[in-house]
Chains A and B, each alone.
Chain A
Amino acid sequence: ERLKAAVHYTVGCLCQEVAEEKGIEFSKQTIAAVSEITFSQ
């Protein structure tokens, strides 16, 4: 779980960057989903 949290944190930061760049928000669930997909990838 700690490893997942570390992946989730970095995915959140990367989402933040794209959000600012594209002027759009990401729901919490979307960030969690991208993190889950990344972890399983």
Chain B
Amino acid sequence: ARFKKDTVNKLLHLHFKDERIKVSADALQLMTEMLKVFVQEAVARAARQAKSEDLPTVDLEHLEKVLPQLLLDF
């Protein structure tokens, strides 16, 4: 699974003041990859926390435990 480049392009344009700003193909590729890495890191860390507690399901609290350090790492 991966983010569609058009979706990431749309996300970026949400925050541009001037909608005529263009995002180069490389920048778009990099942002798309970065978003995927961010999600995979968040999900893997939360899953590892749930497994360390021998639980079958990753719940909000497992994500909240790893969240402060995750946000500081990105």
Residues on A facing B (Cβ under 8 Å): 3, 6-7, 10-11, 13-19, 22, 24-27, 29-30, 33-34, 37-39, 41
Q: Give the Cβ gap from A20 to chain B, nearest Cβ, in Å.
A: 11
- List 14 A-B residue pairs with CB atoms under 8 Å apart, sorted by A's residue number: A3-B7, A3-B10, A7-B11, A14-B40, A17-B1, A18-B47, A19-B47, A22-B47, A24-B50, A24-B57, A25-B56, A25-B58, A33-B63, A37-B71
Main secondary structure of the interface of A (DSSP, over half): helix
In the complex, per-residue mask of B1-31: 1 if CB is within 8 Å of any chain A CB, else 0: 1111001001100100000000000000000
Q: Collect the chain A residues with CB atoms within 8 Å of residue B60's CB.
A: 27, 29-30, 33
Q: Compute the total of residue contacts between A and B using a CB distance below 8 Å.
A: 78
Q: Collect the chain A residues with CB atoms within 8 Å of residue B35's CB.
A: 38, 41
